[in-house]
Amino acid sequence: MLLDVAISCAAFLLLLAVPAVALGSRPFASSLIYALSVIPLAIVAVVGVSALLGVGEMTTAVLPVGLPWLGSHLSLDALSAFFLVVVGLGGAVTGVYAIGYGRHEHEPWRVLPFYPAFLGAMVIVVLADDASTFLLSWEVMSLLSWALVLAHHRESEAQKAAYVYLVMAGFGTMALLLAFGLLAGGEGGYAFEAIRAGKRSPLAATAILALMLIGAGSKAGLAPLHVWLPLAHPAAPSHVSALMSGVMTKVALYGFIRVVFDLLGPLEWWTSPAVILLGSTTAVLGIVYAMMESDIKKALAYSTIENIGVIFAALGLALAFKASGLTAPAALAFSAALFHIFNHMAFKSLLFMGAGAVLNATGRRDLDGLGGLIGRMPVTSFLVLVGVTAISALPPLNGFASEWLVFQSVLKSPELPQIGLQILIPAAGGLLALAAALVAAAFVRIYGVGFLGRPRSEAARQAKEVDRFSLTAMALLAAICVLAGIFPGLVLDTMAPAVHAMLGSQLPLQAEQPWLTLVPITESRSTYNGLLVMVFIAVSASAAAWMVHRLASRRLRRAPAWDCGFPNADPATQYGAGSFAQPVRRVLGTILMRAHEEVKMPPPGDPSPARHTVHTRDLIWEEIYLRIASTVNVIATRMNHLQFLTIRRYLSLVLFSLVSLLLVLALWN
Amino acid sequence: MGNIAFDLAHLLAGGLVLVSFMMLYQDRLYALLNVFALQAVVLSAAVAWQALIQDASHLYVTALIALVFKALVIPGALHRIIQKLGIHREVEQVVGVGTTMLAGMGLVALSITLMLSLTSAADAIAREDLAFALSVVLLGLLMMVTRRNAVSQVVGFMSLENGLILAATGAKGMPLVVEISVAFSVLIAFIVIGVFLFRIRERFDTVDVGALDSFRGEKR
Amino acid sequence: MELIVNLIVQGIQMALVVALAPLLVGLVRKVKARLTRRRGASLVQPYRDIARLMRKEVVLAENASWLFRVVPYMVFAATWVAAALVPTFATGLQFSWTADLIAIVALLGSARFFLALAGMDVGTSFGGIGSSREMMIATMAEPAMLLTVFSVALVAGSTQLSTVSHFMASPEVGLRVSLGLALVALIIVAIAENARIPVDNPATHLELTMVHEAMVLEYSGRHLAMIEIAAALKLLLYISLIACVFFPWGIATESDSLGAYAVGALAYFAKLGAGGVALAVFETSIAKMRVFRVPDFLGVALMLALLGTLLLFVSRSL
């Protein structure tokens, strides 16, 4: 019953593309399509929650589409239900935002047909129960998002982004194809049920894990396969950016979890360090790049990479514990990962919506053209502040709760029997701590330069508050951030069936704890109570303010800021994006990005301005991707003369390859 | 004694590793020598403690040798040589401090993993001594690799040797320990003198007075 | 009845930390002055300063937003809550389970986050220079702090400060290198986080050398008073934290007798005094370092903490 509802919602979304094409550029089309997309997604989210709560049974269905001998298997289990909540909630709120935001789109017909179908494809990916349906819907999701990235196709940046994205998505899908090929084995059972029952050697399992890291990891943004993400996510319209960063990366994670935790069966313990280390280095790299980036949407995209890194590290921890049969710590790490997936959906979508609101109000994305928005767009600024606080993992908001669980699972590492892991996991925890501290710095920079201070451009000075729909959507997400932060136990209890389905164990029930405290293991070991922290801070802050105003003084005088005797300083003299990043750039950027500064001072007497230039290099892009590209280029040039052969030679080439293939076959048997 | 014996041995051996890291961190030659002397003091304390808990009086000799030669004589001599020759007082590094430190961490992790899994049969003190000793040896090697200056290379080599002594004393019932350590110390002294003679010659070849004059801008 | 007693004890702790914090600052200043052969201001001078600031009017920069006015109270509240959760004279207080060590670190992180935002709010370059440098210091100090927490938590098997404190007071801890390393790392972090010499100079008002003071340059009157109290509370918190984790002697446990509480309080005062004097001695004996030497200094803390967690496995897996 629940499954049927979800499937019809997905079908509705896919079919919504048709009227979207038909309506085209009519003025009401955008509002109508977005509004219509909200309803099925909200239903999908409700379906997910009720499946998790055990209302209605979880079922499977076979639709007579797809491969003729297989049909299209779809099923709803606890893991799918959790991700349905993520997709449905994220998609529905984004739809509300888009009702307002979409009006500003110059060419709505380039967005509207793809948008609902993209969401529908994501719902199908989550519901898929056989390899062909999964891969097909995955590819549809990729292509539709690619089309959305190309919505502003006249900008050269978007063209480059779309090209890189297409290449990387194709590469990732190829890895997924190979992974499912290995999973299905010689018998070719492509239904998940058959794959689950199959047995595979440790070597094959490791190969599948590696292929999943490439396939799903590239879609989620795992370093060094992340390069397309900071290009493509910001190039799309902002509500699509929110979907891609907040929801689509989660669907990619779903693919990884489904295969590695559910279908693959047991893995050797020595495979987990790769996942943990990849995750934690991705986290640090992503946030260092975010710290250096002055385009607000690009910085947010890099921060997505950081969060994906944290989630992969937690999943790696879960793998390590699971391989040694420690189900309780594995459940802890896995719950932390799922919780962070949910949280990241909320705050990253919120922040991208905020960036979109700023883009609408000022037409600018570069931090150095913004500033002073807190006075001009007060509601947006407040809601973005909530998002910024949440993503910086500050208590009592939700980002901290999941980060705290990750650290708690790091601290369970002594129970592992392998000394290598015991040493490696705290070191990886150190990397995660470094990333967490850098996140706070990066978001002080984004908020401090973008929203505080004095406006740095005329556009920022003229900024106006955005429409109600956008504000409502952002307020909803901000409320989720706060509620999930102060009631983390309820969220964890709700998602517990998903954890149980994957690992066979789950966290102790949190709802029974007094005062809704979070107690992942035992009370004497570690506890955290977001609600009480929130109450204590609120009460003591307001009590202090009240006492001070009542008993001491409440007088206030406005005066110019201290200017060192140089009045009317230009707003450009404020700390900007580049100057705020300077200390961190000097400390970490010199190592990770080969950053160096160049100061050109004119000789005395020369009135020309002094220049200060910062050079940074994207080492991953230059050292890996450009090299591969140039190698491909060289090979292509060499192969060029194959185009100018005689027919006889072509035929001999064909014969030669046929014979060698047959020889290989003969030798193989 | 049990617990205290282990705790103190552990503390001293761990201190040795820590001092090795301090040596990696130094960027002045004199400070480096002081830290090296400190390492020798810690080493002799560690050896003396081993002598006490193993009831092996010959180890006291080793401790004494370490104290006298390595903590006093050699650092003092190196001090004087630096002073006399006016060697550039900053340690010239090939790789940055941070990177070196991280590499050092990796080496320590490696040696701990290796030693603890290889020597699971031995008793506790020997195991952890071996793990620490291997770390000290590797850190000494790392220091020799990452430094250009001859003095810091010699110091690196001698701290490597400190690690060997720690390993030798930690493993109980090694009758030749004294001999080995004495032989090593003599060897070290030879190497020190040899390298220095070589370096001095090199210095006097390259550093000539004419260069100083042109530096001052007084062309004759 | 028991609940009431527990609540009272918790209340005493909350009041105690706020009441003692300025005194601790006064003590450090006094000792520093005596060490440099000055007479120095009286011990209670910080109280007078705060009272005077409270009574003065606030001079607010023209384009300061609401955030700028809210931040002092939030910073104070976050620091106060964090300080109230660290066991001072007794463990196992009524609300001690609200937040563990990691959450306390994060609470201090919240305070710093909002203060740095306030530094950016007015839109002068002082605030910016202070904020950006403060965040740079934090990016090194916070991981070092968390790694220290890891080593302590891996030894004690808990991040709950009361449990850690009990464990550290028990004889089974023994002498451990990693704990020593963690202690040194924590002290370095404490010095950096409290903007003390050699990382920052709390007494300077030369614009280019200060970090924390530059960030709060635009604050005045009652706002500045709140920030000063918060800074004093933070210093007290770090000393209490070091005391309760590494020197947990004399600390009272829950449902102890009144006498035990008194002993705990006396021991706590002694530890605070010793910590303050040690800080003053350290500060007078060392020179402030350049800002871009600070990462190296904090790098040492990071390294020590990491080394501590590594060496932990040698001592424990035997």
Question: Can you give the pLDDT at residue A457?
Answer: 93
- As a residue count, chain A comes to 669
Domain hosting B144: range is 2-204
Partner C, chain A 581-620, Cβ-Cβ below 8 Å:
581-584, 586-588
Confidence of residue B112 (pLDDT cuts 50, 70, 90): confident
Q: How far does CA B170 lie from the centroid of its chain?
A: 17
Query: What is the secondary structure of C33-44 as a DSSP string?
Result: HHHTT-----TT
A492 pLDDT above the threshold of 90: yes
B201 pLDDT above the threshold of 60: no
| Cα–Cα dist A313/A281, whole Å | 9
Considering chain A, what percentage of its residues have pLDDT values greater than 90? 65
Could you tell me which chain C residue has the CA closest to the CA of A396? Answer: C107
Angle, CA A500 vertex, CA A495 and CA A503 arms, to 5°: 125
Mean pLDDT is lowest, of A44-53, A169-178, B148-157, for B148-157
Domain count, chain B: 1
DSSP assignment, residue A609? P
Beta bridge partners of A63: A72
| Residue among A495, A494, A489 nearest A529 (CA) | A489
Q: Is B105 on the interface with A (CB under 8 A)?
A: yes
Is A644 in the same domain as A523? no
Looking at the domain assignment, is residue B215 inside a domain?
no
Q: How far is CA A317 from CA A39, A259, A415, A435, in A?
A: 37, 16, 12, 17
Chain A residues with CB-CB distance to C138 below 8 A: 437, 440-441
The model's pLDDT over A1-39, given as tens digits with 9 standing for 90+, comes to 789 999 999 999 999 999 888 887 787 888 899 999 999
Domain hosting A521: range is 268-540
Tokens at A552, concatenated: 């001491």
| Cα–Cα dist B154/A655, whole Å | 67
Beta bridge partners of A612: A599
Partner C, chain A 454-493, Cβ-Cβ below 8 Å:
454
Helix (H, G, I), strand (E, B) or coil at B165: helix
Tokens at A441, concatenated: 């710095």
| Residue among A37, A31, A36, A33 nearest A21 (CA) | A33
C180 pLDDT above the threshold of 70: yes
Confidence of residue C169 (pLDDT cuts 50, 70, 90): confident
Query: Locate tokens 């084995």: which residue?
Result: A185
Chain C residues with CB-CB distance to A407 below 8 A: 102, 146
Domain count, chain A: 2
Tokens at A4, concatenated: 């049927």
Q: How far is CA A646 from CA A218, A640, B85, in A?
A: 42, 14, 77
Looking at the domain assignment, is residue A345 inside a domain?
yes
Question: For chains B and C, what is the number of CB pairs under 8 angstroms?
Answer: 61
Looking at the domain assignment, is residue A277 inside a domain?
yes
CB contact under 8 A, A419 and B112: yes
Closest CA–CA distance from residue B56 to any residue of chain A (Å) = 33
CB contact under 8 A, B105 and C310: yes
Q: Is C173 on the interface with B (CB under 8 A)?
A: no
Looking at the domain assignment, is residue B219 inside a domain?
no
Domain end among A540, A555, A587: A540
| Cα–Cα dist A588/A285, whole Å | 10
Closest CA–CA distance from residue C37 to any residue of chain A (Å) = 33
B206 pLDDT above the threshold of 50: no
Chain C residues with CB-CB distance to B10 below 8 A: 175-177, 314-315
**With 0-12 CB in 10 A as exposed, 13-18 as middle and 19+ as buried, what is A362?**
buried
Q: Between these two residues, A320 and B66, which has the higher pLDDT value?
A: A320
Domain count, chain C: 1
* DSSP strand pairing (C58-61 vs A611-615): unpaired
Query: Locate tokens 């987990």: which residue?
Result: A272
Looking at the domain assignment, is residue B32 inside a domain?
yes
E strand map for chain C: 58-61
Mean pLDDT of C103-108: 94
Q: Could you report how far apart the first and last alpha carbons of chain A are, in Å?
A: 50
A150-183: b (≥16 Cβ within 10 Å) or e: bbbeeeeebeebbbbbbebbeebbebbbbbbeeb
Amino acid at A284: V
Amino acid at A614: V
Q: Is A380 on the interface with C (CB under 8 A)?
A: no
CB contact under 8 A, C317 and B8: no
Question: Can you give the pLDDT at residue B189?
Answer: 66
CB contact under 8 A, A444 and C58: no
**With 0-12 CB in 10 A as exposed, 13-18 as middle and 19+ as buried, what is A467?**
middle
Asked if the peptide bond before residue A329 counts as cis, ω within 30 degrees of 0, the response is: no
Asked if the peptide bond before residue C198 counts as cis, ω within 30 degrees of 0, the response is: yes
Q: Which of C120, C153, C222 sits opposite A453 (nearest CB)?
A: C120
Query: What is the secondary structure of C163-191 as a DSSP string?
Result: HHHHHHHSTTS---HHHHHHHHHHHHHHH
Mean pLDDT is lowest, of A478-492, A636-650, C18-32, C75-89, for A636-650
User: What's the mean pLDDT when you consider all of chain C?
Assistant: 89
Looking at the domain assignment, is residue B143 inside a domain?
yes
Tokens at C269, concatenated: 């005062």
Beta bridge partners of A62: A73
Q: How far is CA B119 from CA A149, B127, B134, C206, C318, in A?
A: 58, 6, 13, 58, 11
Confidence of residue C318 (pLDDT cuts 50, 70, 90): very low
* DSSP strand pairing (A72-75 vs A60-63): antiparallel
Question: Can you give the pLDDT at residue C258?
Answer: 81
Looking at the domain assignment, is residue B212 inside a domain?
no
Confidence of residue A301 (pLDDT cuts 50, 70, 90): very high
Q: Is C81 on the interface with B (CB under 8 A)?
A: no
Mean pLDDT of C78-107: 88
Helix (H, G, I), strand (E, B) or coil at A172: helix
Q: Between these two residues, C152 and A66, which has the higher pLDDT value?
A: C152
Question: Can you give the pLDDT at residue B174?
Answer: 56
Q: Between these two residues, A415 and A385, which has the higher pLDDT value?
A: A385
Domain end among A488, A507, A540: A540
A566 pLDDT above the threshold of 90: no
Looking at the domain assignment, is residue A523 inside a domain?
yes
Radius of gyration of chain C (CA): 19
Among B113, B116, B119, B120, most A C-beta atoms within 10 A, so best to mutate, is: B113
Helix (H, G, I), strand (E, B) or coil at A645: coil
CB contact under 8 A, B109 and A591: no
| Cα–Cα dist A48/A84, whole Å | 5
DSSP assignment, residue A572? G
User: What's the mean pLDDT when you consider all of chain A?
Assistant: 91
B209 pLDDT above the threshold of 50: no
Sequence-separated (6 or more) residues with CB below 8 Å from residue C132: A445, A575, A579, A580, A581, A582, A583, A584
Looking at the domain assignment, is residue A519 inside a domain?
yes
| Cα–Cα dist A404/C205, whole Å | 38
Q: Is C180 on the interface with B (CB under 8 A)?
A: yes
Count the alpha carbons within 13 Å of C300 in the hemisphere toward its beta carbon: 20
